[in-house]
Amino acid sequence: MRREFCKIISNFRVANNVYKMVIESKSISKEALPGQFLHIKPSQNYDPLLRRPISICDLDQDKGGITLLYRVCGKGTRLFAEIKPGDNLDIIGPLGKGFPIFQNKKSAIIGGGIGIAPLLILSKWLKEADIYLGYKDETYMTDEFMNYSDDVCIYTESGSRGTKGYPIEALEKNINRYDIVYACGPKQMLRAIKRLCEKNLVECYLSMEERMGCGIGACLVCACESSNNDEYKKVCIDGPVFNSKEVNLDD
Partner 1 sequence: MIDMTVNIGGRRLKNPVLVSSGTFGFGKEYSNFYDFNLLGAITVKGITLKPRKGNKPPRIMETSAGILNSVGLENPGLYSFIENELPFLKKYSVPIIANISGNTIEEYSLMAKELNEHVDFIELNVSCPNVKEGGITFGTKPESVYEVTREVRKVTNIPLIVKLSPNVTDIGEMALAAENAGADCISLINTLMGMAIDIYNRKPFFNNVVAGLSGPAVKPIALRMVWQVAQKVNIPIIGMGGISNWQDAIEFMMAGADAISIGTANFYNPLAPKEVLEGIKEYMIENGINDLREIKINGGVK
Ligand X SMILES: Cc1cc2nc3c(=O)[nH]c(=O)nc-3n(C[C@H](O)[C@H](O)[C@H](O)COP(=O)(O)O)c2cc1C
State the residues that interact with ligand FAD by CB under 6 A: 37, 48, 50, 52-55, 69-71, 73-77, 114, 117, 209-211, 235, 240
Which residues from 195-214 bind ligand X, rule CB under 6 A? 213
Kindly state the smallest distance separating residue 219's Cβ from ligand X, in Å.
5
* 213 is an interface residue for partner 1 by CB under 8 A: yes
Of 15-23, 30-38, 40-48, 175-183, the window that binds a second copy (rule: CB under 8 A) is 40-48
* 214 is an interface residue for partner 1 by CB under 8 A: yes
- Interface residue with a second copy among 30, 63, 75, 245 (CB under 8 A) is 75
Helices vs. strands in the chain: H and E counts, helices first: 6, 16
Number of residues that bind partner 1 (CB under 8 A): 32
- Calculate helix-pair angle for 187-199, 167-174, nearest 10 degrees: 10
> In 50-137, where do the E strands start and end?
52-55, 58-60, 65-71, 88-95, 107-112, 130-135
What is the Cα–Cα distance from 10 to 6, expressed in whole angstroms?
Answer: 12
- Interface residue with partner 1 among 136, 187, 217, 245 (CB under 8 A) is 217
Closest to 175 (Cα-Cα) out of 198, 191, 153, 157 = 198
Nearer to ligand FAD, 162 or 186 (CB): 186
* 50 is an interface residue for ligand X by CB under 6 A: no
Which residues from 165-204 bind partner 1, rule CB under 8 A? none
What is the Cα–Cα distance from 244 to 198, expressed in whole angstroms?
Answer: 8
What is the Cα–Cα distance from 158 to 12, expressed in whole angstroms?
Answer: 25
- With DSSP H G I counted as helix, E B as strand and the rest as coil, what are the percentages for the chain, rounded to 5? 25, 35, 40
* 218 is an interface residue for ligand X by CB under 6 A: no
* 49 is an interface residue for ligand X by CB under 6 A: no
What is the Cα–Cα distance from 162 to 117, expressed in whole angstroms?
Answer: 19
* Site for a second copy, rule CB under 8 A: 43-48, 75, 78, 84
Residues that bind partner 1 (CB under 8 A): 1-3, 41, 45-51, 92, 210-225, 230-232, 237
